[in-house]
A and B are shown apart, each in its own frame.
Chain A
Amino acid sequence: MERPAPSDTIPSGALPGELAELTREDVARSLDRSRVQRARGRRSRWYLLWLLVGPGILAMLGENDGPSMISYTATGAIDGIGFFLPFIVVTFLMAIVCQEMCMRIGAVTHRGFGQLVRERYGSSWAWLAAGDLLFTNLVTLIGEFVAIRVGLAYFHLGAGVAALLGVILVVFALSGGRYWRWERIVLGLATFNGLFLVCAILVRPSLAHLGHAFVTFSPLPRGSFNELLLLLASTIGATVTPWMVFFQQSASADKGLTPRDLRQGRLDTIVGGVFAAFFGCGALVAGAALFGHGGTSVNGFAGAGFPLALGHRAGGTVGTLFALGMVEAGAVAILTISASTGYAVGECLGGGTSFNLSPRDAAPFYSINVLVAAVAAAVILLPGVPLLSIALNANVLATVLLPFTLVFVLMLANDRQLMGRWVNGLRTNVLALGIVLVVSVCGAAYGIDSFLLQIHVLGGGA
């Protein structure tokens, strides 16, 4: 007799005194866990790590997305490497602290962020957090399609191809009905984020300048106080965002991480953060090749923009690799950000949210996943939409809305009833509170200062 259809439930009888049901989701997850346990039994440390990495690297490299890479490159082109090279590293350290908490909560509770906020603090708070996420994700996804469009424009391909490619990719990655398959497809794509580092090497930066920037955090960027705040807010928004919180916690639970896997989960997060910091710095250093060579004017680019400018300045190979990097950055982020939206909305609705479920059993999860990508794709096809402004402002908006999400992460990570002995320690709490404070101050200072300049309460407004 064949095994029942995956959506059927099977009384397992494995838990005495209780009717436990083995669903398709359970079967898929237990198969993944069986490999983990065998690797642990054989003491194959590297294989075990290979099996358990994923959510951390994807959250970090997913955040090295189109708007972030455009933002880093624009910063390098306008202000040089100076202050921002070490600042990017600092922001990724902040991201590692936040994402480690999300991974730990997901591994200990086996539940996603939206579900936990709904169950512990009520539906209103869960929907408010998910509403913020839906809005910022939609804006960010438009930015991702812009990045793909910018990359493809270098190869003389239009917006229609960019839109179609993004949506097809989401549907293809979802089609397997397995978390493991989805994760490995996105991980494979994410390796190409390294193209930005290759670009940085090919533009032959001065090692003395790089070393000086890391040691001194200087020279500081020029420009007005408001421009400095904008750069700070957009750089923070390029490394720590609400979607990463939803994504890593839900993906860790979906992957089936347990408290025994916390060590590998932490390594996954740290390795992801280190790679993302290297590749982000790569985009900054590549952009800095345009510093003093018309880099400021490239900021208002249309079409192929930065790849074309880099091609003229540093050679066609750099332009081509940078264009391909933009396509990769947009594509990976479309996959991870769509997934985080699907997880968030599905968890708030209370339905099934797992790549291990069939589309029939997790209809809201799958449909939201595709719908947000399709809506964002449609926007880039509209004529006259200020796509580049949207892409650059997506990070700022994420920074402004982030403190609300981070406070709930902190509350969950300190919930002893939920987390038991894996509750936050004093050092993590101090670091996390400091991060919430820095993010709040940067976001609020930029928002308030820009608004006051705009309505001419402060001098020098638009």
Chain B
Amino acid sequence: MSSRAREEEDEELIMFLERDQLAADRRRPLPPAEIGWRAHTALWSLRIFVLIVGAMVIYTFCAQL
């Protein structure tokens, strides 16, 4: 296949993809979101809560073996 033919084939293929579907574009990092201190605090509170309850479930599971 000539390089011209290959270029044409690539152009045809790339037509089927949206620009941000290309692997190169998907790997380009997005800008970080701005989250305030309230959201941060809420996320950390949820995280700690989930970990504590998770630890309770694991403890109960191990104790009942």
Contact = CB atoms under 8 A, between A and B. Distances in A.
Given A111-B26, A121-B32, 11 more contacts: A20-B14, A25-B23, A30-B13, A30-B14, A121-B35, A352-B27, A386-B65, A389-B61, A444-B49, A453-B60, A454-B63
Interface string A30-55: 11011011000000000000000000
Contacts of A166: none
Contacts of A121: 32-33, 35
Interface residues of B, number: 44
B41 interface: no
Given A29-B21, A111-B26, A120-B33, A448 B56 contact: yes
Given A444-B49, A454-B64, A1 B23 contact: no
A389 B1 contact: no
Contacts of A407: 43, 46
Interface string A401-414: 10110010001000
A228 interface: no
A147 interface: no
B38 to A, nearest CB: 13
A296 B43 CA distance: 41
A451 B43 contact: no
17 contacts: A2-B1, A10-B6, A21-B23, A26-B13, A26-B17, A30-B15, A33-B16, A110-B26, A256-B17, A350-B27, A389-B61, A397-B54, A400-B54, A403-B46, A403-B50, A444-B53, A451-B56
B41 to A, nearest CB: 13
Interface of A: 1-3, 10, 12-15, 20-23, 25-27, 29-31, 33-34, 36-37, 109-111, 116, 119-122, 125, 128, 132, 253, 256, 258, 350, 352, 354, 386, 389, 393, 396-397, 400-401, 403-404, 407, 411, 415, 417-418, 443-444, 446-448, 450-451, 453-454, 462
Nearest to A226: B60
B59 A26 contact: no
B26 to A, nearest CB: 6
A443 B57 CA distance: 9
B24 to A, nearest CB: 5
Contacts of A13: 7, 10-11
Nearest to A112: B26
A250 B30 CA distance: 16
A125 B50 CA distance: 14
A119 B57 contact: no
A119 B14 CA distance: 26
A37 B16 contact: yes
Contacts, number: 143
Contacts of B17: 26, 29-30, 33, 256
Nearest to B64: A462
Given A14-B14, A444-B49, A454-B64, A26 B22 contact: yes
Given A12-B11, A444-B49, A450-B57, A1 B6 contact: yes
A121 B49 CA distance: 20
A258 B21 CA distance: 9
Nearest to A445: B53
Contacts of A29: 17, 21
A22 B13 contact: yes
A261 to B, nearest CB: 11
Across the A-B interface, give the 10 residue pairs with the lowest CB-CB distance, nearest first.
Answer: A451-B56, A447-B53, A33-B16, A30-B13, A120-B33, A450-B60, A14-B14, A447-B56, A119-B30, A30-B16
A120 B57 contact: no
Contacts of B14: 12, 14-15, 20, 22, 26, 30
Contacts of A1: 1-3, 6
Nearest to A111: B26
A3 B1 contact: yes
B25 to A, nearest CB: 8
Contacts of B27: 350, 352
A258 B20 CA distance: 10
B57 A415 contact: no
Given A403-B46, A448-B53, A397 B58 contact: yes
A122 B32 contact: yes
A38 B64 CA distance: 58
Contacts of A446: 57
A289 B56 CA distance: 34
Given A400-B57, A444-B49, A12 B10 contact: yes
Nearest to B61: A393
A450 B7 CA distance: 65
